[in-house]
Amino acid sequence: MKLAVLGAGAWGTALAIAFSARHAVTLWARRAEVRGVLRDDRENRRFLPGHRFPDALLIGDDFERAAADADLLLVATPVSGLRATVARLRDAGVVKPLLWACKGLEAETAKLPHQIVAEELGAQALCGALSGPSFAEEVARGLPAAVALAANDAEFGHRTARALHSPHFRIYANDDLPGVEVGGGVKNIMAIATGVCDGLGLGLNARAALITRGLAEIARFGVALGGHPQTFMGLAGMGDLILTCTGDLSRNRRVGLALGVGKTLAQILDDLGHVAEGVSTTREVARLSAQMGIDMPITRAVDAILYRDEPAALAVETLLSRDPKIEAS
């Protein structure tokens, strides 16, 4: 299969390397100078240093040609770049099956990725999300990982999952597109919260409680947006949540750790040098959940830290002072 990966950050690069073992892959970067460096170095030294490109991996210069020549498109931009990318495909007249690997809700609109794609390409477009517990660094190294692929058409999703599946990068088809997207997006908020907890030195017991209650919060929100409850017990829910909240390769966890020791958000993002999707997603989930009447106390606490300058210790104290409830609620 011919695959075009549109977006050459860490995750797009890792996926291009992984899929090159069995497919003809072209990796495209938005900026011409970046494409030139990738072609010359045969390595993404900025976002994924130390991982040489397979000989078969091509660096595409022309967006329209790379997309037109592919059997399957994989958009690996941040959520903020998804709409512009699919709009460019539409304007070029390129109608191809499409996956995205971004996680989160669009700033200002609070739209999930499948809603963005439907607005730009139409509801008939074959498309889906690739999401699950997977750090780019480990995928590029060929270490075992398992993710979910959820699509708006079950047959397309199952067929594509089988085509992309490999022994070390296992892909499980899932028929719950909104649930998979919510699990992948909102877990980043919980990773920031868990990082704050660890940055404040509150201990492993507190971390476990926060992850568990965070999963309940994700599921409440996801079901309200049309997801299936069982999705949040799987790879795109619990699996991704555990990895992102506990693994120090997580950008969102690192944001929380830095907030917990008193750094400002501007300083943190400058030091990080990468996009941490949970930062923008927090604002949108907090706003949308409030409009829908969904109780999301952890999300509100993270939103207060990020956008209302509430000290991390005070936000945690507010969480701890909440009245206890029946656990299932």
pLDDT digits (tens, 9 = 90+) for 102-131: 999 999 999 999 999 999 999 999 999 999
- Spell out the domain ranges in the chain: 2-175, 179-320
The pTM for the full model equals: 0.95
- 31 marked ligand binding residue: yes
Class of domain 179-320 (CATH, top level): mainly alpha
Please identify which of the residues 111, 187, 263, 325 carries the catalytic annotation: 187
> What pLDDT does residue 328 have?
65
Burial call 216-247: b when 16+ CB within 10 Å, e when fewer = bbbbbbbbebebbeebbebbbbbbbbebbbbe
The reply to whether 263 belongs to the active site is no
Where does 92-203 have alpha helices with state H?
113-121, 136-140, 154-164, 177-199
> What pLDDT does residue 265 have?
92
Q: What mean pLDDT do residues 144-153 have?
A: 98
- 155 marked ligand binding residue: no
Class of domain 2-175 (CATH, top level): alpha beta
Instruction: Provide the sign of the torsion angle of the four alpha carbons 46, 252, 82, 228, taken in this order.
Output: positive
- 183 marked ligand binding residue: no
- 107 marked ligand binding residue: no
- 240 marked ligand binding residue: yes
Report the C-alpha gap between 157 and 161 in whole angstroms: 6
Q: What mean pLDDT do residues 158-180 have?
A: 98
